[in-house]
């Protein structure tokens, strides 16, 4: 079994034949029972394990992602999605009976989750395997056919994705199309039933506009600036350790990485030194020598983040740790920066790199106010030992997701919906929520006996009007 590999040249930019093939095949795929879908997912699990060493090599070649991080954040993330889906698939696929209200007595109703049909997955480069195959798991569990377009910035990984998918699925069920913006644009011109996009908010808008042409439904997993609030009651050592891990993993190129920290002014100095220490513990005194620290994906992203830092420095920011850039190695040191002007690019743009600004606040309402003024973030984190503060921050802010006394890890919980809100995303993924994203909840109402509502049809005699009055008042 092979899947389509297409070079992104203008003469091969028509994907209609592939699309039509999947369209013709969709009902057959949709008929698969829970057992059959589970078997497909088992084959996918085996393929992922078989290609694990190749994937480790590919991600090292693409941007020096450490082997352990490939295992944890790419391989295991996908395997846990598969295992969770296999365990729950039968229950998810079961028709859901719903109670009958009094005016509809004489009927029964249920909801079936039917597949959306032919789906498109467009994925980014930062977790290139997980963010292509994770949604595929949900799409297959829900009984769809799928075209995947992985990122052009991680070509070695894209080739492995193609191999994994091709080893399990015929192309009329799941196919991988490689290429860049032109390829994505050509795919987006086709009338897919659902588009699952992971990437930047800017491109998310392009995708949503394209989807509108065919009224395709969308799941948009986007990005933004995810704040961390550290209040005066926080365990600073613990916070520093966890923030440093969640920020500098993948060199800060994580959609849910802490983007910046708002720390209570009474604890700022302590947090500064605890973070500096945490970086040394994770990556040694000279992080560039550590094999456990990834690189920036390309020169343009390195220059973008280095430019933000330089701009902040010129506006008076103080670099507390790191700051070193090695163009040739696409290396940027884990960097902590204080005294950042809130109007600087570092505080206006999603950083998506290993630079962590620390800003201070005197009263919690100030920190909350700052978050409320910005776009709704993909994640908001809070370090606190005060129950009242925890309640207040969750109640008074809006975010795609939240961790209290940790960061990033909510992503790994298969029972939690993952996704953003408005600028950080539309729709949710993972587990049941991913299955739901790729399904249409179709209500089925079955009339068994003459219904009470039939009594209320014209002509509206006076006693029928009385019955209508009773219904309006009491039922
Ligand atoms: N919410 C999440 O789960 C999540 C996960 C990872 C990354 N992200 C976000 O993704 C962004 C970084 O990833 P990226 O740089 O690969 O994102 P991106 O938006 O530049 O690209 C994502 C995908 O869209 C395609 N694309 C790019 N421009 C396009 C266009 N004009 N028309 C159609 N398709 C186009 C790319 O080829 C790629 O496959 C960050 O904003 C990050 O926060 C979000």
Instruction: Report the complex ipTM.
Output: 0.97
Ligand 1: residue whose CA is nearest its atom 16 = 124
Q: How many CB atoms lie within 10 A of CB 395?
A: 8
CB 457 within 8 A of CB 467: no
pTM: 0.95
Question: For atom 2 of ligand 1, which residue has the closest CA?
Answer: 221
Angle 52-63/155-168 helices, nearest 10 degrees?
160
Q: Separation of 462 CA from ligand 1 center, angstroms?
A: 63
ω into 352 cis (within 30 of 0): no
Best residue among 15, 189, 203, 429 to mutate for probing ligand 1's pocket (most ligand atoms within 8 Å of CB) is: 203
pLDDT digits over 194-225, tens only?
A: 999 999 999 999 999 999 999 999 999 999 99
What atom of ligand 1 comes closest to residue 202's alpha carbon?
Answer: 19
Per DSSP bridges, beta strands 379-383 and 401-404 are parallel
Measured from the Cβ of residue 165, the count of other Cβ atoms closer than 10 Å reads 26
* Closest ligand 1 atom to 420 CA: 1
Given a contact cutoff of 8 angstroms between Cβ atoms, the answer to whether 305 and 351 are in contact is yes
Percent of the chain with pLDDT over 70: 97
Taking the centre of ligand 1 as the mean of its atom positions, its distance from the CA of residue 120, in whole angstroms, is 14
Which DSSP string do the residues of 191-227 spell out, in sequence order? Answer: --SEEEEES-HHHHHHHHHHHHHHT-EEEEE-----E
Confidence of residue 13 (pLDDT cuts 50, 70, 90): low
Q: Is 456 exposed, middle or buried (0-12, 13-18, 19+ CB in 10 A)?
A: middle
17: its two tokens: 């034949």
Pocket of ligand 1 (CB under 6 A): 122-126, 131, 149, 151-152, 180-181, 184-185, 198-200, 203, 206, 221-223, 255, 350, 352, 378, 420, 425
**Ligand 1 probe mutation, 15, 176, 186, 200, most atoms within 8 A of CB:** 200
What crossing angle do the helices spanning 201-214 and 181-188 adopt, rounded to 10°?
A: 30
Residue 4, pLDDT > 70, answer no
- Sorted by where each starts, the structural domains of the chain and their CATH numbers stand as 15-223+426-441 (3.40.605.10), 227-419 (3.40.309.10)
- State the closest ligand 1 atom to the C-alpha of 255, by its place in the atom list counted from 1: 43
Atom of ligand 1 nearest to the CA of 200: 41
Model pLDDT for residues 350-376, shown as the tens digit of each residue: 999 999 999 999 999 999 999 999 999
**From atom 6 of ligand 1, which residue's Cα is the shortest distance away?**
255
Q: Convert the pLDDT of each residue in 222-246 to its tens digit.
A: 999 999 999 999 999 999 999 999 9
What DSSP state is assigned to residue 422? B
* CA 200 to centroid of ligand 1, rounded, Å: 4
CA of 103 to the centre of ligand 1 (A): 49
Q: Which 3 state secondary structure label does DSSP give 124?
A: coil
> How large a percentage of the chain has pLDDT more than 90?
95
Q: What is the pLDDT of residues 24-64, one digit of tens each?
A: 999 999 999 999 999 999 999 999 999 999 999 999 999 99
| Average pLDDT of span 327-336 | 96
Q: How far is the CA of 441 from the centre of ligand 1 (A)?
A: 28
User: Are 227 and 259 a contacting pair, CB within 8 Å?
Assistant: yes
- What is the model's pLDDT at position 453? 83
> Locate tokens 């007595």: which residue?
105
Residue nearest to ligand 1 atom 30, measured at CA: 181
- CA gap 276, 432 in Å, rounded: 40
Residue owning tokens 């290609």: 51
Using N-to-C axis directions, what is the helix angle for 34-50 and 52-63, rounded to 10°? Answer: 60
Q: How far apart, in whole angstroms, are the C-alpha atoms of residue 358 and residue 319? A: 10
Residue 475 pLDDT class (50, 70, 90 cuts): confident
Mutate to test the pocket of ligand 1, among 124, 222, 417 (most ligand atoms within 8 A of CB): 124
Is a pLDDT exceeding 60 seen at residue 21?
A: yes
Of 10-24, 126-140, 303-317, 353-367, the least confident: 10-24
pLDDT average, residue stretch 308-321:
96
From the CA of 201, give the closest atom in ligand 1: 41
d(CA 175, CA 166): 7
Beta bridge partners of 146: 119, 174
Catalytically active residues, by annotation: 221, 255
CA of 201 from ligand 1 middle (Å) equals 8
């Amino acid at each position: 079994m092979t899947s389509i590999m297409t070079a992104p040249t203008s003469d091969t930019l028509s994907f209609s034949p592939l699309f039509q093939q999947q369209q013709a095949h969709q009902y057959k795929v949709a008929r698969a029972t829970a057992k059959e879908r589970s078997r497909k997912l088992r084959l996918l699990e085996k393929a992922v394990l078989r290609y694990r060493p190749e994937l480790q090599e590919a991600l090292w070649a693409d941007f020096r992602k450490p082997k352990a991080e490939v295992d944890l954040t790419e391989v295991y993330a996908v395997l846990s999605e598969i295992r969770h889906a296999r365990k729950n698939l039968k229950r998810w696929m079961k028709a859901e009976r719903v109670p009958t209200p009094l005016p509809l007595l004489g009927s029964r109703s249920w909801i079936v989750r039917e597949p959306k049909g032919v789906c498109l997955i467009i994925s980014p480069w930062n977790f290139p395997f997980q963010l292509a195959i994770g949604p595929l798991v949900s799409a297959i569990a829900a009984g769809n056919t799928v075209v995947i377009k992985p990122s052009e910035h991680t070509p070695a990984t894209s080739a492995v994705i193609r191999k994994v998918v091709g080893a399990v699925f015929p192309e009329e069920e799941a196919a991988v199309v490689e290429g860049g913006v032109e390829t994505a644009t050509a795919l987006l011109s086709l009338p897919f039933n659902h588009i699952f996009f992971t990437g930047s908010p800017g491109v998310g808008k392009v995708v949503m506009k394209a989807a509108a042409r065919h009224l395709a439904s969308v799941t948009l997993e986007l990005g933004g600036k995810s704040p961390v609030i550290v209040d005066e009651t926080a365990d600073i050592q613990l916070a520093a350790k966890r923030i440093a891990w969640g920020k500098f993993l993948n060199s800060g190129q994580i959609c849910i990485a802490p983007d910046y920290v708002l720390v209570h002014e009474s604890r700022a100095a302590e947090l500064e030194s605890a973070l500096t220490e945490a970086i040394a513990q994770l990556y040694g005194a000279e992080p560039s020598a550590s094999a456990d620290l990834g690189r920036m994906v390309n020169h343009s992203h390195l220059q973008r983040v280095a430019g933000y830092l330089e701009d902040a420095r010129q506006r008076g920011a103080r670099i507390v740790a790191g700051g070193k850039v090695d163009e040739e190695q696409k290396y940027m040191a884990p960097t902590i920066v204080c005294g950042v002007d809130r109007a600087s690019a570092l505080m206006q743009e999603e950083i998506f790199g290993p630079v962590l600004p620390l800003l201070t606040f005197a009263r919690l309402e100030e920190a909350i106010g700052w978050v409320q003024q910005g776009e709704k973030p993909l994640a908001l984190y809070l370090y606190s030992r005060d129950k009242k503060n925890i309640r207040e921050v969750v109640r008074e802010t809006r975010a795609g997701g939240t961790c209290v006394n940790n960061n990033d890890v909510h992503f790994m919980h298969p029972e939690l919906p993952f996704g953003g809100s408005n600028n950080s995303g539309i729709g949710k993924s993972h587990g049941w929520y991913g299955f739901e994203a790729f399904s249409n909840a179709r209500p089925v109402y079955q009339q068994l006996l003459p219904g009470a509502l039939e009594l209320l049809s014209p002509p509206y005699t006076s006693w029928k009007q009385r019955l209508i009055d009773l219904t309006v008042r009491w039922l």
